[in-house]
Amino acid sequence: MAAIVTDIRAAILAQQATTLGGTYQRIPYVFNVERMDIRTARLGYGCRALGGVPPDVQMNRTFTIDQGFEMVFTDTFAKDVKDLDKETAIDTMFNKADEVMKAIVNTKLGLSATVLFVGAPTYAEPELVRAAKVVVLRVQFIVKYRTALS
Identify the CATH number of the domain in which residue 111 sits: 3.30.70.1700
DSSP character at residue 32: -
Report d(CA 114, CA 4) in Å as an integer: 8
pLDDT at 46 over 70: yes
Model confidence at 139: pLDDT above 90: yes
Look at residue 57 in the predicted model and tell me its pLDDT. Answer: 63
Nearest CA to 29 among 118, 131, 144, 130?
130
Answer for the pair 15, 103: CB distance below 8 angstroms, yes or no.
yes
Under the banding of pLDDT at 50, 70 and 90, the label for residue 63 is confident
Count CB neighbours of 79 within 10 A: 8
Q: Return the SS3 of 137.
A: strand
Measure the CA–CA gap between 29 and 47, rounded to whole angstroms: 10
Does 92 score more than 70 pLDDT? yes
d(Cα 75, Cα 41) in Å, to the nearest integer?
A: 6
pLDDT the model gives residue 45: 96
Q: How many domains are there within the chain?
A: 1
pLDDT recorded at residue 122: 96
Helix (H, G, I), strand (E, B) or coil at 147: strand
Q: For residue 121, what pLDDT is reported?
A: 94
Q: Is 19 strand, coil or helix?
A: helix
Higher pLDDT, 112 or 118: 118
Question: In a 3-state reduction of DSSP, which class is residue 9?
Answer: helix
Domain span at residue 137 reads: 2-148
- Asked if 49 contacts 31 with a C-beta cutoff of 8 angstroms, the reply is no
How far does CA 70 lie from the centroid of its chain?
4
Q: Give the strand pairing for 25-26 and 44-53.
A: parallel
Residue-averaged pLDDT of the chain: 89
